[in-house]
Structure 1
Amino acid sequence: MSILLRGGLVIYGEGFEPVRADVLIEGDRIVRVARGISAEADEVIDASGRVIIPGLINAHTHSPMTLLRGLADDLPLMEWLQNYIWPAERKLGRREVYWGALLGLIEMAKSGTTTFVDMYFHMDAVAEAVMKVGLRAFLGYGMVDLGNEEKRKAEIRETERFMKFIEELGDRRINFILAPHAPYTCSPECLRWVAERAREGILVTIHLAETREEVKEIKERYGMTPVQLLDSLGLLTPGTIAAHGVWLDERDAKILATREVTIVHCPASNMKLASGVMPLKMLLKAGVNVALGTDGAASNNNLDMLEEMKLVALLHKVHTLDPTVADAKMVLRMATVHGARALGLKAGIIKEGYLADLAVIDFRRPHLRPLNDPVSHLVYSARGGDVEDLIVAGKIVMLDGEVLGVDEEKVLDKVENIREVVI
């Protein structure tokens, strides 16, 4: 299949330079970016008055947690998890997870996300939702053994089952990722098993150093920081994607940079749960690859990566009292290039030879005019509802604001029924 995006303002190349051009897609790749492309295409999209951007990469979320949006707000993390979220999650079966994931995927598509990293349970249901919507996904079963040997064996069995399930799907957009929940919920034995499997070239996602209390607990239990613990277990590699990284010191940063670990910044969730402020400036200076994620809708409370970019830029400016920290292009790189690097994708850039993962944003709106700086507008002014079209792996997922693979009204009705019966 071929697609021609005609007459848009393209955020082009590694430097994110605004260029008036057409974009020709063949198969799952961008094959040409130039003015006045005359080639025939199966689909032609008029992008005049629009800005074409690389698809955003949500490097950490829990898509089915849309069901828990607004359930228990304004609480500390552990109280929120133990007293409200975990009890509610025990009521969720495969059916509920499927509909919650569908809602989350629709929301992500409408805010320009083409790729996401997900950790939850009943993940085969999430994979089914991904196939229906058409996003690119890295899916992992969230392992939690709490030091219990029988529980650990069960978690390993489920992880291996799900890995085989993904392999048998044979869909290049749906990928398996190992997903131990966190150092405080997974035993060293569990984490060592994950490290052994990771040596086979499998990516890993994990929560890391999210709260001060977590770091204190790990230090008391093991005599080292969470970063040092994972390093001692062989779990820090270029294929490790660690979410949050709020409570890190310079020694931790040096280890993460040396091991080429990616840290996923989730500013909205960290602020809402009062977890703290990730030391972005320190991590970037150390050479750590920092990507961007929303976390789940229960702690955000949305999956809008455009909003998340604005929050990153504003948070670190006021936190450091330095307006030059987290400039617009750097933040856009976090949401695109850095996520692609973490996942081993040739994506995050609009350029010949790269994956055709693109979003088309309508800039004919009052809050996006005048067009002084398109990249600045993306970070500081745009919002999810501005996205008109979405292309993933060379296939149109959303056209004129409508996600093509699903009945949105049906999904909205289903999740409301779930709320009334289960939540």
Structure 2
Amino acid sequence: MGPVVHSATVVLTMDGPPIPGGNVTVEDGRVVAIGAGRGEVHWDGVLVAGLVNAHTHLQYTCMAEVGQRVYDSFEHWSEVFNRAYFKGGEGTWDPAERAGAWDWRAGALDGAWQCLRSGTTSAADIVTDPEAFVDTPLGGLPYLEIIGDTDASWIADGRERFLATLGGRNAGISPHSPYTLDTGVLADSAVLARERGTRLHIHLAESAHEREYTISGTGPLAELVSAWCAPFALLRDGGSGLAPAAYLDSLGLLGPDCHLAHGIYLGADDRALLRERGTTIALCPRSNRVLGLDGPDVAALLAEGNPIAVGTDSLSSSPSLDLLADVAALKELAVRQGHRDPDLDRVLIEAATLGGARALGMEGEIGVLRPGARADFALFDVDPREPYRSLAENGAGRCVATVVGGKIIWAL
């Protein structure tokens, strides 16, 4: 099949200024040219490079009921989530005990299509249960999660089991968090990722009590971990004396090949460390609201130049997988926090495209339209006169078509 030219009222390539009456020429799944003029396939509205969801767990789409309320704290949500995950039982994170609890494959498939129908064409999808590795048009990178291992269990059979599950898959590695894994396991996850030449992704600073946990091994989060009967070194040794970001850095996790999810409770020193390491933070403000948490300090992150991306998290902690709804929430937070940059809308749409691509190590491949990039884009029925603003404020629920690899995979 020869080249196909898609045009729209305005085109946002994320590689330059908006192009009124712009077009994108596609051949063999790639962008071959950007120009102006009406194409054989014309769309009314805004055509934008495919959105990149930098943090989600699509398998939990089947647990959406958990995300339809607001909780008192991260710890409260965790208790409810765990009961639902194990269907009311007292299971552990041992894969053998988790098997068959939910139809994770169906959840992942449903979640992927919900993303695609809202204009997301790539995602950083954390897979906890291997049934959730599914084949869909959604691009990006899946990450196999490590969760619950002590140093002893990791040495005994956890590492071997994890590597067997990972196999030859093109997947990143996601050590869950500083409070669900032992110190040696966290350090070894970074070693494994770099030996395999793949990416790292980890939750950080989502709980208001995470700092107390990593510094002194005490507090509500420590009590929750103790209830899981996880004899981690931080609990035994009275903490590490380090704040969460510094703790991960001491174990070798931080770097440009690693991105974090949430980053709500970061101080200026934490943010400076992450900037120094080139570590992107995927912000998920609607999930934070569901858990009864503060929002991230968007204004400070932007003013200081931290690289950011945007994520939805999963339906077990968020009302939808529509990434632009999180962009709107981030704008609301930034303005409330005093951010007055007139380019805020553009910066946030860049975070939802270019920022996500950077987080996944796929810059120039996704989240942008330029010759050689994947021909992934979405069309939105929003006001083309102020495209960045209309997408940032009103884009949620307004996707009318999604194109992946040059193929229209969904359209109203």
User: Structure 1 length as normaliser, TM-score?
Assistant: 0.82
- 2:143 is aligned with 1:140: yes
Deviates more, 1:194-203 or 1:304-313: 194-203
Greater CA deviation, 373-382 or 352-361? 352-361
1:289 aligns with 2:289: no
Q: Which amino acid aligns with 1:282?
A: A
TM-aligned CA distance change 1:56 to 1:155, over 3 Å: farther
| Displacement after TM superposition at 1:87 (Å) | 2.3
CA distance, structure 2, for counterparts of residue 7 and residue 233 of structure 1 = 48
1:377 is matched with which residue? 390
Aligned-pair CA distance for 1:326: 7.4
The corresponding residue for 2:184 is 189
Residue identity matched to 2:107: G
The answer to whether the 8 A contact 1:18-1:374 is kept is no
1:205 equivalent in structure 2: 201
| Aligned-residue offset at 1:165 | 4.4
Classify 1:251/1:322 alpha carbon distance in 2 versus 1 (closer, same or farther; 3 Å).
closer
Distance in 1 (alpha carbons) for counterparts of 2:51 and 2:99: 30
Does residue 77 in structure 1 map to residue 83 in structure 2? no
Q: Are the structure 2 counterparts of residues 250 and 326 from structure 1 closer, same or farther at C-alpha, using a change threshold of 3 Å? A: farther
Query: Take 1:141 and 1:12, find their aligned partners in 2: how far apart are those partners?
Result: 31
Match of 1:14 in 2: 15
Residue 222 of structure 1 aligns to a residue in which SS?
coil
2:234 aligned partner: none
Give the alignment partner of residue 111 of structure 1, picking from 118, 128, 132: 118
Deviations 1:150-194 (Å, cap 9, x if unpaired)?
25654423431233241xxxxxxxx40101100111111101111
Q: Is 1:24 paired with 2:25?
A: yes
3-state SS, counterpart of residue 70 of structure 1: helix
In structure 2, C-alpha distance between the alignment counterparts of 1:146 and 1:35, rounded to whole Å: 55
Distance between the aligned counterparts of 1:90 and 1:17, measured in 2? 48
Q: What SS does structure 1 have at the residue aligned with 2:70?
A: coil
Change (3 A) 1:325 1:160: farther
Taking the TM superposition and a 5 Å limit, the aligned residue runs for 1:16-415 are 16-36=17-37, 45-47=41-43, 49-71=44-66, 73-75=69-71, 76-82=73-79, 84-91=80-87, 93=99, 96-123=103-130, 125-128=131-134, 131=135, 133-147=136-150, 149-150=152-153, 153-166=156-169, 175-200=170-195, 201-220=197-216, 221-318=239-336, 320-324=337-341, 327-345=344-362, 346=364, 347-361=366-380, 363=381, 368-369=382-383, 371-384=384-397, 386-398=398-410, 400-401=411-412
The residue number in structure 2 matching 1:405 is none
**Do the aligned partners of 1:316 and 1:325 also contact (CA within 8 Å) in 2?**
no
SS of aligned partner of 1:295: coil
Q: Distance between the aligned counterparts of 2:253 and 2:340, measured in 1?
A: 36
Inter-partner Cα distance in structure 2 for 1:203 and 1:68: 27
Deviation, structure 1 residue 288: 2.0
CA distance in 2, matches of 1:382, 1:272: 21
Q: What is the alpha-carbon distance in structure 2 between the residues aligned to residue 177 and residue 229 of structure 1?
A: 21
Identity %: 28
Matches of 1:379 and 1:209, distance apart in 2:
25
- Taking the aligned partners of 1:57 and 1:153, their CA distance within structure 2 comes to 37
Distance 2:27 2:156 in 1: 45
- SS in structure 2 opposite 1:352? coil
Deviation at 1:274, TM superposition (A): 2.3
TM-score normalised over the length of structure 2: 0.84
User: Partner letter of residue 146 of structure 2?
Assistant: M
- Distance between the aligned counterparts of 1:207 and 1:195, measured in 2? 14
- Corresponding position of 1:421: none
Gaps of 5+ in 2: 88-97, 217-238
Cα distance change on mapping 1:191 and 1:245 into 2, 3 Å? same
Distance change >3 Å, CA 383–CA 277, structure 1 → 2: closer
Structure 1: segments with no counterpart, 5+ residues: 39-43, 167-174, 402-423
1:77: Cα distance to partner?
Answer: 1.4
Contact 2:140 2:360 (8 Å CA) reproduced:
no
Relative to structure 1, the CA distance from residue 146 to residue 326 in structure 2 (aligned partners, 3 Å threshold; closer, same or farther) is farther
Shift of 1:102: 1.3
SS in 1 for 2:66: coil
Q: Residues 13 and 116 (structure 1 numbering): CA distance in 2 closer, same or farther, change over 3 Å?
A: closer
Output the CA distance in 2 between the equivalents of 1:207 and 1:325.
31
Which letter does structure 2 place at the counterpart of 1:377? Answer: S
8 Å contact kept, 2:149–2:158: no
Render the CA deviation track for 1:30-74: whole Å, top value 9, x for unaligned: 111223478xxxxx5332x13210100000011121212133622
Q: How many equivalent residue pairs? A: 373
C-alpha distance 394-149 of structure 1, shift in aligned 2 (>3 A): farther
